[in-house]
């Protein structure tokens, strides 16, 4: 502090002249960032009578007096006369360094360190008369003088202010001006400790515990990774934790945040769907949707990194994660497997969890490369390196806006998708007959409105609402349907639907469910459906052909050839769309999900209802889901935060 708290007693010129050489020598040492040598320290203690004459008495209620002997642009020299049995509050020195000399009496000193968002005593010591106490810029300490005392303080550069820490209220006061190291009276701006505590980096190694097989192996692999990271980063705190549900992941993040810790590395060992890590179990699968990730806060350090040790995470999820959280993110392009070695595949035996160390590596296998890939793996192929994704300089284009014209031209008549169209149209006609009235419909992901237009032609619709996130597609829908009074269209962003409760009889997602935030939008679907309402989903999924699928594959191929022959214009327009660079770029950020993701999801949310396969190709197929009549309520328990 640079202001004098008390007027100095009027010293004689002889006393000032006597002290000046000592003060000059002490100041030179402080400016150099050093402490006095024994000879200089002895001189300072011997000057106690003269120094004592310069020190005023403490004011009422204050633990010590402050008498500034010198202050310039390099150093501040201050005397403190201490009231017996009193002490100051914990404080720092405004970024200054220096030293304190116990000129008279003994002092009790405590030094503090941050323990999360609280200050904890790191060291306690008795500083006897003649002791020098070194002060570095980061020191937070307090002092008391049981029998009273006199201390000489030198700080360089002169502090313009300091922080005083109120331990009882866990708050810090920023003091500038005529204040000492105690809690001043009156109103002063206070900041919670949590806002000023240094953030402690942590390496978090998490693994799922119940989703599919391998959870026991995941636990061993996570423990192995934790040991190796601790050895590689001896100064880091490594936390290994098992996670069952999404809520466990969120709760662990909340604990890190509340304790003031930041994540320097996040490692998650898990199974994964196309859109990221899977939690829960196959009986009740859980996955953070893109919308939920975007609403989440993860306390990453400035140089934080994320590693997702799971199948296919690099295809869509890790680039998305890197963009959302602004950190370098790593994932695997192909499938992962448990290995006894980190650098290449080594079979872990029939009881892998009995091994002290296991690793999760990416390697060719039967799922990704067929039987040839499986042979390569078991012959000891090298582990594939994780794929690095950096935050993009610009947001990726995930909507259909740039291909809206091409899509509208190809699918002006949705009946070109004959199998899918017949499945939906047949069910809507049956629902019309069952209800004895026309059907109220909501389509999520309506695109250019072609499906609703065709259903309206059949006379089964009372009214229909089509929603989509693409402004370009909605413009085509409104233009093509401007004369249809039963149809209206609206734009959505995120899972919320601008539709009243109990408003529709049927919700349809036609070739769009893979783009949606599944659990959040499912809550909205259940809200807008009237009692007894239905959900119909038709979508394309990734699934290699199996032997039992060959008859369906043959029928699908024949239907495709028939469409090409009967509708050559559609074939040309479809090829123009699917070969366009903007379409290919858009698909990179809207990948097709695997079939088992749909089976497990719908099987858990709607017990007893299953998927029906409509068409098949070599690596993909179109599946359909009919929930049947639904009682009013949610697909409980919904577990997203």
Does the fold of domain 202-394 match that of domain 10-191? no
Fold of 202-394: Rossmann fold (3.40.50)
> CATH code for 401-630?
3.40.50.150
pLDDT tens figures, 368-378: 556 666 777 77
Identify the pLDDT of residue 3. 40
220: enclosing H helix or E strand: helix 215-232
Identify the pLDDT of residue 393. 61
Mean pLDDT confidence for 115-119: 85
Identify the pLDDT of residue 457. 96
| Pair of tokens at residue 127 | 């500083």
Q: Which of 568, 500, 541 has its CA nearest to residue 624?
A: 541
Identify the pLDDT of residue 634. 57
Mean residue pLDDT across the chain: 89
pTM of the model: 0.64
Q: Count the alpha carbons within 13 Å of 116 in the hemisphere toward its beta carbon.
A: 7
Which segments are annotated as binding site for Fe cation? 91, 93, 141
Identify the pLDDT of residue 544. 75
Distance CA 500, CA 114 (A): 51
Res. 11 pLDDT band, cuts 50 70 90: low
Q: 637: cis peptide before it, omega within 30°?
A: yes
What one-character-per-residue DSSP string does 123-156 give?
EEEEE-TT-EEEE-TT--EEEEETT-EEEEEEEE
Identify the pLDDT of residue 178. 75
Identify the pLDDT of residue 217. 92
Query: What kind of architecture, by CATH, is found in domain 10-191?
Result: Sandwich (2.60)
Q: Which of 73-82, 182-191, 256-265 has the highest mean pLDDT?
A: 73-82
Which segments are annotated as binding site? 91, 93, 141
Sketch the domain layout of the chain as residue ranges. Answer: 10-191, 202-394, 401-630
Identify the pLDDT of residue 594. 82
Q: What percent of the chain has pLDDT over 70?
A: 94
């Amino acid at each position: 502090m640079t202001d004098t708290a008390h007027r100095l007693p009027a010293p004689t010129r002889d006393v000032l002249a006597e002290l000046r050489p000592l003060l000059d020598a002490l100041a030179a040492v402080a400016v150099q960032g050093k402490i006095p040598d024994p000879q200089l320290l002895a001189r300072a203690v011997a000057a106690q009578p003269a120094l004592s004459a310069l020190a005023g008495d403490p004011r009422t209620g204050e633990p010590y007096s402050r008498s500034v002997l010198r202050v310039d642009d390099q150093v501040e020299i201050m005397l403190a006369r201490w009231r017996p049995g009193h002490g100051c509050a914990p404080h720092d020195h405004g970024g200054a360094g220096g030293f304190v000399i116990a000129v008279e009496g003994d002092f009790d000193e405590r030094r503090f360190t941050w323990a999360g968002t609280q200050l904890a005593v790191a060291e306690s010591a008795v500083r006897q008369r003649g002791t020098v106490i070194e002060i570095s810029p980061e020191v937070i300490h307090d002092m008391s003088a049981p029998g009273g005392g006199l201390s000489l303080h030198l700080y360089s550069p002169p502090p313009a202010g300091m922080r005083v820490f109120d331990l009882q209220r866990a708050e810090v006061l920023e003091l500038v001006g005529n204040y000492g190291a105690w809690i001043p009276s009156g109103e002063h701006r206070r900041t919670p400790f949590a806002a000023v505590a240094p953030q402690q980096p942590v390496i978090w190694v998490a693994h799922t515990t119940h989703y599919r097989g391998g959870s026991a192996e995941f636990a061993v692999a996570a423990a192995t990774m934790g040991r190796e990271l601790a050895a590689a980063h001896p100064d880091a705190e490594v936390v290994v934790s098992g996670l069952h549900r999404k809520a466990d992941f969120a709760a662990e993040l909340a604990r890190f945040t509340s304790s003031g810790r930041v994540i320097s590395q996040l490692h998650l060992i898990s199974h994964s769907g196309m859109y990221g890590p899977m939690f829960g179990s196959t009986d009740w699968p859980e996955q953070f949707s893109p919308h939920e990730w975007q609403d989440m806060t993860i306390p990453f350090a400035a140089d934080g990194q994320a590693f997702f040790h799971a199948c296919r995470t690099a295809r869509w999820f890790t680039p998305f994660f890197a963009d959302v959280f602004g950190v370098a993110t790593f994932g695997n392009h192909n499938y992962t497997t448990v290995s006894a070695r980190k650098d290449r595949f080594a079979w872990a035996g029939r009881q892998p969890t009995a091994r002290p160390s296991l690793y999760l590596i990416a390697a060719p296998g039967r799922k990704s490369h067929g039987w040839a890939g499986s042979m390569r793996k078991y012959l000891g192929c090298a582990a594939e390196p994780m794929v690095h994704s950096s935050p993009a300089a610009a947001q990726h284009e995930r909507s259909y806006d740039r291909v809206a014209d091409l899509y509208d031209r190809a699918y002006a008549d949705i009946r070109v998708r004959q199998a899918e169209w017949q499945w939906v149209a047949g069910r809507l006609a049956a629902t019309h007959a069952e209800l004895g009235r026309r059907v109220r419909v909501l389509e999520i992901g309506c695109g250019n409105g072609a499906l609703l237009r065709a259903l309206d032609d059949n006379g089964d619709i009372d009214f229909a609402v089509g929603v989509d996130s693409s402004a370009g597609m909605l413009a085509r829908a409104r233009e093509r349907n401007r004369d249809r009074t039963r149809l209206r269209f609206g734009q959505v962003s995120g899972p919320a639907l601008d539709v009243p409760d109990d408003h529709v009889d049927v919700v349809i997602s036609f070739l769009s469910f893979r783009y949606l935030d599944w659990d959040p939008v499912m809550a909205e679907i259940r809200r807008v459906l009237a009692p007894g309402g239905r959900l119909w989903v038709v979508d394309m999924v990734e699934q290699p052909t199996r032997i039992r699928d060959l008859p369906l594959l043959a029928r699908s191929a024949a239907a495709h050839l028939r469409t090409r022959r009967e509708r050559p214009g559609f074939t040309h327009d479809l090829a123009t769309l699917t070969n366009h660079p903007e379409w290919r770029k858009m698909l990179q950020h809207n990948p097709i999900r695997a079939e088992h993701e749909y089976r497990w999801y719908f099987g858990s949310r709607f017990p007893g209802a299953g998927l029906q396969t409509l068409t098949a190709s070599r690596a993909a197929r179109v599946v359909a889901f009919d929930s049947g009549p639904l009682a009013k309520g949610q697909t409980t328990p919904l577990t997203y935060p």
